[in-house]
Amino acid sequence: MIRTPLRVSTLFAALALTCAVEAQVVVTKNAQTDTLVAFSPVDGSVLSTSVFPVSTETAVSAIDVNGEIWVSEQTATRIVRYDRCGKILGTIGPSFPGGAINNIRGMAYIGGQVYVTNSGTTGGAPGNAVVIFDPAGNYVSNFTTTGFAPGPFDVLEFQGDLLVTGSSGTDDVHRFSLAGASLGTFHNSSLSFTHQLALASDGNVWCGVFTTGQVVKLAASNGAILSQFTASGARGVYELQNGNILWTNSSGAFVYDISTLTSTQVLAATGGCYHLNEVNLPPSLAYACNELYGTGCHSFTQDNSNLLQLFADAPSAKAALDGNALTFQLTGNGYVANWAPGVAAGLYVPPSLTATVVANSTAGTETFTPSAPIPVPGGFASSWTVSSEGVLTAGTVGNQGTSALATLANTAAQTGLAFYTWTNQNPTEAGSGKIKWEEVGGVLYVTFDGVECAAGTPTVAPSTYQWQINMTTGDVTMLWTSFSISNTTNDVLVGCTLAGAGITPVSESLATVVNDVLQPDGVLSPMTLTAAPFPIINPSTTVTYTATNVPEFLPSSGVYIGTLFLSVNPLPGGFPLTGVLTTVPGCSAWIATLDVDLGGTLNIAPTLSWNFTYDNVFFAPGNAIAAQAVALFDPSAPLLNGESGGFLLSNGVLSTPDLQ
């Protein structure tokens, strides 16, 4: 490892001092650029067109919750929690312990709780309601607005109570207690589709009205309209400190001048903007941050959980399968598979007259329960589900359901342990045999007993094959006595997939399977560097840099080693290190110089950390300090993806010190 230790005082002495003043800005989402934009709360001027990027979903409201920025995504029906640097801290919804949200709109942080307007019922959401969360994102309760403010669109704290707008019918604005008890109509008139509410400096209430195309001021005493101005398709509204009104619609943001009685567009945005709320960011938008950039290496999944062969048609499947078997010997977390040619006739057990018929329908599934749970990788299966298309799944939910279209890609998202002879079959066809199950001598037998192929010619083209599952050991045998003679060109997929979704498997020849091990997929996750807390320098903060997904230095050693470099020269575009430090593409340097080495560290877990103190002696607001971690591993023991360079690198972190 190259080390270039330098004195921090020498390194950062030349960095210039700037200043940041604590205050607030007004934010909304720009639907054209999918960014959070900031306006001056004084005059409505645009301070930044990109505070940080947000998702492409329709975002109605962005509010400050104890220094976090929560964004309500109406179309994704979730709340996304960001830190002030734009890093996603987590999401809430669509479902969560205790309930669900759907078609959410405006939000407000009131008295230590977050109030969210909700309109939909999908997933068990409460319909017309206000849903309440604590600042950690935990569900607290909800109360209905049905009959008072249908289609609730915003919520505002008002004189110790709540005001809620209704986008359709009943009241335009209804008053509730903080606990959700109806306190009566606040305003109802010919207004149509009330959107956002905002407090006026004189104690009254501003309201954006979408369909009517107005911004109105409602009297605090009785909700009567005191004044109004034209605002086509008004959504958001906010009174500026100079007395003018910032408002939004589908074209962007406007400032209404109370002296000239005219609106001037200050932000053009196709798709527009929604609600306007204050967040605790300085108007300079200079504040301490730890921003992640670039990517660590490597992201790789080794497919160990599938053993499948895809045949292009029935004739090729018949040629490969007839008379043969495939065995699966249970291990703790998977199977050892072997191809057994020519043994099917000797192993096959014809169904008895008392065998139970299952899945007796076109493209149907049926679940059945044997007399005792059967061992499977990682546990036991009490029930099994069989599809008439040739899929046997451990559990009550069958893989592929009733699909007759056999593809490798369609198995990737399926989550059940399943065994396949998957193609278009129909036990209800005239003259067809049936699908049957029974237990004989401690073995579960599931048999396709002369079940007709549902495609191609000749019309009479049955298949007979069988699954045999030892109910004590969990070992499985698949055997094919006679596959269909149909000439159909429908694909046939044969083999096994373990439980859990994974990557799209690759077709492999079952005839070459000898002691193949099925086990959970091997996953190599990118080494990731993060930093916390923010580098606030009034007077100092110790920031901890943490690298996760660190590779083991030697397999089974339980030892993890690495170091961290700081640099005043971030390299946002990255420099590929293939052939320099790494052997597999995908690793880059995200810093241009190795200015400070925080030193090697060792751990017995795949996590490494380093502390560094930012103070107002050596650092000034706005300085940009980049960091990147490097981990070591023995190159004689390559990683899952074949990487054998001995080095693994993280993403970059850009730390920006400031006074807050």
Q: What is the pLDDT of residues 392-413, one digit of tens each?
A: 999 999 999 889 899 999 999 9
| 247 shares a domain with 367 | no
pLDDT at 1 over 60: no
* β pairing state of 194-199 and 205-209: antiparallel
Give φ, ψ of 466 to 5 degrees: -150, 145
Whole-angstrom distance, CA of residue 32 vs CA of residue 21: 30
| 209 shares a domain with 77 | yes
Q: Is residue 13 part of a domain?
A: no
Q: Is residue 7 part of a domain?
A: no
Q: Is residue 556 part of a domain?
A: yes
Q: What is the mean pLDDT of residues 260-266?
A: 98
Last residue of a domain, one of 474, 496, 522: 522
pLDDT at 257 over 70: yes
Q: What tokens were used for 561?
A: 């080693």
Q: What is the pLDDT of residues 81-97, one digit of tens each?
A: 999 999 999 999 999 99
| 531 shares a domain with 458 | no
The pLDDT, as a whole number, for residue 645 is: 96
pLDDT at 556 over 60: yes
**The amino acid at 373:** P
Q: Is 440 helix (H, G, I), strand (E, B) or coil?
A: strand
| 419 shares a domain with 310 | yes
Give the mean pLDDT of the chain: 94
Q: Compute CA distances 4 → 11, 175, 219, 599, whole Å.
A: 12, 65, 67, 10
Q: What is the pLDDT of residues 150-185, one digit of tens each?
A: 999 999 999 999 999 999 878 999 999 999 999 999
Q: What is the pLDDT of residues 320-342, one digit of tens each?
A: 999 999 999 999 999 999 999 99
Q: How many domains does the chain have?
A: 3
Torsion-angle region of 575 (φ positive above 0: left; ψ -120 to 50: alpha; else: beta): beta
Whole-angstrom distance, CA of residue 505 vs CA of residue 407: 10
Q: What is the pLDDT of residues 485-496, one digit of tens each?
A: 999 999 999 999
Last residue of a domain, one of 522, 548, 581: 522
Q: Is residue 18 part of a domain?
A: no
Q: What is the 3-state secondary structure (H, E, C) of 488-544?
A: CCCCEEEEEECCCCCCCCCCCCHHHCCCEEECCCEEECCCEEEEECCCECCCEEEEE
CATH code at 193? 2.120.10.30
pLDDT band at 23 (very low <50, low <70, confident <90, very high): low
Cα Rg of the chain (Å, integer): 32
Q: Is residue 12 part of a domain?
A: no
| 502 shares a domain with 641 | no
pLDDT at 6 over 50: no
| 504 shares a domain with 491 | yes
pLDDT at 618 over 70: yes
| 634 shares a domain with 647 | yes
Query: Token pair 């960011």 is at which residue?
Result: 281
Best CA proximity match to 73, nearest among 38, 32, 101, 37: 101
| 295 shares a domain with 196 | no
Q: Is residue 429 part of a domain?
A: yes
Q: Compute CA distances 434 → 67, 154, 403, 452, 464, whole Å.
A: 64, 59, 18, 9, 10
The domain of 567 spans: 290-299+525-656
CATH code at 562? 2.60.40
Last residue of a domain, one of 496, 522, 548: 522
Whole-angstrom distance, CA of residue 448 vs CA of residue 405: 18
